[in-house]
Structure 1
């Protein structure tokens, strides 16, 4: 049965990192399955707006992408004004959706899909539900109260408690909630979410096999330069490699609000073995990952149950092993043990991190084994078609 879906996805095509590629993939799949989608998204700006100037003047605020109608909302660039400006952006998004709903700017939906971040997006979904009777499916990629606490964005206990109450209030008015890991499900239940929660993983598709290059040995970080990653914790490792292992080259690839500061930090530390590179185009992304022998997947302390780094699945799909930094028993640690695709090191264990990286890079057979383990895990446990069909089934029930 064809359904009309209002798709509230702040991050969407043409952004190529973070949640946007997954939000876009699901929209394309649902549209291809015969449903009618109208997406409301920010003007593209993540991790920076530099590559999206064609959208910045608003001339493309109404457009069509692969038969999906897309309406854009103006936004301040990431890193401009910090947390307060991000909240203002989220409020602009909600106001825009509400205005469009009140003015009848989109067809009466059968289903509203709302992505978190931001939790405020779900307020707009609830308003549309009240006006139309639509079912609300909320897909949680980040638990914002947990991230705010772990990253020190909000320290006042009253503010943190208020954030949790807002989250539980809106999630309990969703008809279903989807999270990425069992850990995220547990955290939502702790703050009082009683709506049905489904755990549906991120998906990936194995890339073509490519031999692991070892001349030179290259260690890579590829992704967003933001607070969730806490890239500062890589500096002791990279500085020690610079002093003790001149044969290992480091590439830091990507962009984000923290990049300029991280570059300065490395320069001040006198690091000479590291090359900073920009984001690459989507068609060059997998080859860029395969140009490294080993990848780093850092995560800030105590954020593991509130967000999952999507870059990890791209690395595994590319057939490359990784070393991640996360607490024992966290979703990252559990995934690493299940897949056999990498090594998980506890935050703050600088010697353990150095040993994990160098021991892997010194054993090509182990690099190849873990890389193949990752490709196999993606193929067997993160099959795109299977996961898309899970979403299709949820839409069918709505």
Structure 2
């Protein structure tokens, strides 16, 4: 046991609370879970300024260069960085460079950590974590939520093309090869990580979990509050409105089916583009991100929950929205490629249906089929919470992360690799 009487840990994650979308909630729950463990004397987090998914700095942090906070027992160190309102390869590179420069110039003021964790796809966060771990000679454990090199190669970010993908992939390989152990949230990442030079026996499966509460209000009550009248089909997409999502398919679905109510809830750099594309459509509505306390009830009030991606995106990661959708108990329609993490998770859960990406008629056909048989739709949706209980509970997910850290520190597996329990 270290001299300070317990483990001192550092988590590097660009995103953190109060961000409620993407990987921010996972970073927050990991840090707070570790801080509540009596074996850990201190848990520090190096994070950016809250900005996601709006890609605008939270007003409370505008003009702030550095901030030190304590949240739920976690010592939080924030560092300023650029926030590009539109995503291009150059802007993304500047964003990562600003995170890297400020993080290395002003690392957290703390004693020697016993281990450093980091969340990818932040390239800068991965490099910072690896550098700090190397400086102190302690285990470094990155968790791969997504791979930026693969995303760039699939043209999810405009401009830069193959050069940006190759550069991102090289940085990811540098980061991952320096890890004691590598956590991945889905099996589809294993081959990608091994191709970067990481031995397969150093990779552990640590699936994400459902980080939201279960719905608590009657659906009819919430629908009335939202103005969604009974008998109207409501299709809801919640979360980031970015290029990767290809949400134009839902705008076109609204155009083709005036009787179907399409709701886009959230924020992102494509929100205004989508709003302009759907101008004049009375059945297309935009909502701001729901408050945390109401979010599960808003999801449950919809008839169908949609997850979409462009056809060019070979999805390896699992959108965080999907675990929330399952917990809401409504059927999912996934307009995504047949291969990849999202499609595989929908098939495993048996809580939704798959349709080809960027195909409004196919999406609408699936929605209408569910609407025509409410009992079957309810039965399909009910499998989501059951899947969460069996495989995606918060307790199990956090235990997997804690086990990954224990193994890196103590040199012995805390549980069988690949367990999804």
Deviation at 1:164, TM superposition (A): 2.0
Distance (Å, rounded) in 1 between the aligned partners of 2:257 and 2:196: 42
Deviation at 1:165, TM superposition (A): 2.5
Q: Name the counterpart of 2:19.
A: 15
List aligned pairs for 1:331-370, cutoff 5 A.
331-370=341-380
Distance (Å, rounded) in 2 between the aligned partners of 1:347 and 1:223: 18
The answer on whether the counterparts of 2:87 and 2:269 sit within 8 Å (CA) in structure 1 is: no
Q: Name the counterpart of 1:207.
A: 214
**CA pair 105-190 structure 1, distance change in 2 beyond 3 A:** same
Deviation at 1:321, TM superposition (A): 1.0
Deviation at 1:79, TM superposition (A): 1.7
Match status 1:148 vs 2:152: yes
The answer on whether the counterparts of 1:125 and 1:136 sit within 8 Å (CA) in structure 2 is: yes
**CA pair 81-323 structure 1, distance change in 2 beyond 3 A:** closer
Distance (Å, rounded) in 1 between the aligned partners of 2:347 and 2:385: 14
Match status 1:170 vs 2:175: yes
| Structure 1: gaps of 5 or more residues | none
Match status 1:384 vs 2:400: no
Deviation at 1:382, TM superposition (A): 0.8
Deviation at 1:304, TM superposition (A): 4.0
Q: Name the counterpart of 1:186.
A: 191
Deviation at 1:94, TM superposition (A): 2.0
Aligned residues: 390
Distance (Å, rounded) in 1 between the aligned partners of 2:114 and 2:148: 27
Q: Name the counterpart of 1:236.
A: 252
Q: Give TM-score scaled by structure 2 length.
A: 0.86
Distance (Å, rounded) in 2 between the aligned partners of 1:81 and 1:203: 28
Q: Residues 2-27 of structure 1, C-alpha deviation per residue, up to 9 Å, x if partnerless?
A: 31111111000111111101110111
Distance (Å, rounded) in 2 between the aligned partners of 1:51 and 1:215: 40
Alignment match of 1:133 (pick from 124, 131, 137)? 137
**CA pair 314-78 structure 1, distance change in 2 beyond 3 A:** farther
Match status 1:251 vs 2:258: no
Distance (Å, rounded) in 1 between the aligned partners of 2:85 and 2:373: 40
Deviation at 1:107, TM superposition (A): 1.4
Match status 1:160 vs 2:176: no
Q: Give TM-score scaled by structure 1 length.
A: 0.91
Q: Name the counterpart of 2:99.
A: 93
Q: Residues 289-322 of structure 1, C-alpha deviation per residue, up to 9 Å, x if partnerless?
A: 1121111100122434432211011011011111
The answer on whether the counterparts of 1:11 and 1:23 sit within 8 Å (CA) in structure 2 is: yes
Alignment match of 1:30 (pick from 28, 34, 59)? 34
Shifted more, 117-126 versus 186-195: the winner is 186-195
Deviation at 1:31, TM superposition (A): 0.5
The answer on whether the counterparts of 1:316 and 1:374 sit within 8 Å (CA) in structure 2 is: yes
Q: Name the counterpart of 2:80.
A: 74
Deviation at 1:81, TM superposition (A): 6.8
Q: Name the counterpart of 2:63.
A: 57
The answer on whether the counterparts of 1:48 and 1:255 sit within 8 Å (CA) in structure 2 is: yes
Secondary structure at the counterpart of residue 388 of structure 2 = helix
Q: Report the aligned-residue RMSD.
A: 2.2
Secondary structure at the counterpart of residue 389 of structure 1 = helix
Q: Name the counterpart of 1:278.
A: 288
